[in-house]
Amino acid sequence: MSKPVYNKSFLMESTDLRRVLDNVVWGRLVPVLEGAVEEEEEEGRFGKGIDVFGLMSAVSVEIMSGYAVGSAGGTDLVRPGKEAERERVGVPLWLSW
């Protein structure tokens, strides 16, 4: 049996998790996606795309680490300018540390 802190019911009502999700999604992920769209608009071409696998892996790591140790002690892989670190997330994290 899992501990109550990691039960789905507990997580769905957790204000701490909600705070982490808001921070990661609205404060980090959305600016990266908006930046990608703006970059393509400036270049006048579309279809360049974005590495969704690495980005979503980074989002997952940030959410888990932010919930486990708090946002201040968690990872910071999603912010714009962190592309090199995001590429490392494609490899299992324990191999790249």
Query: H/E/C letters for each residue in 4-40?
Result: HHHCHHHHHCCHHHHHHHHHHHHHHHHHHHHHHHHHH
- In tens, the pLDDT along 50-91 reads 777 778 888 888 888 888 888 777 788 787 777 677 666 654
Report yes or no: 23 and 66 within 8 Å, Cβ to Cβ.
Answer: yes
End-to-end CA distance of the chain: 31
pTM of the full structure: 0.72
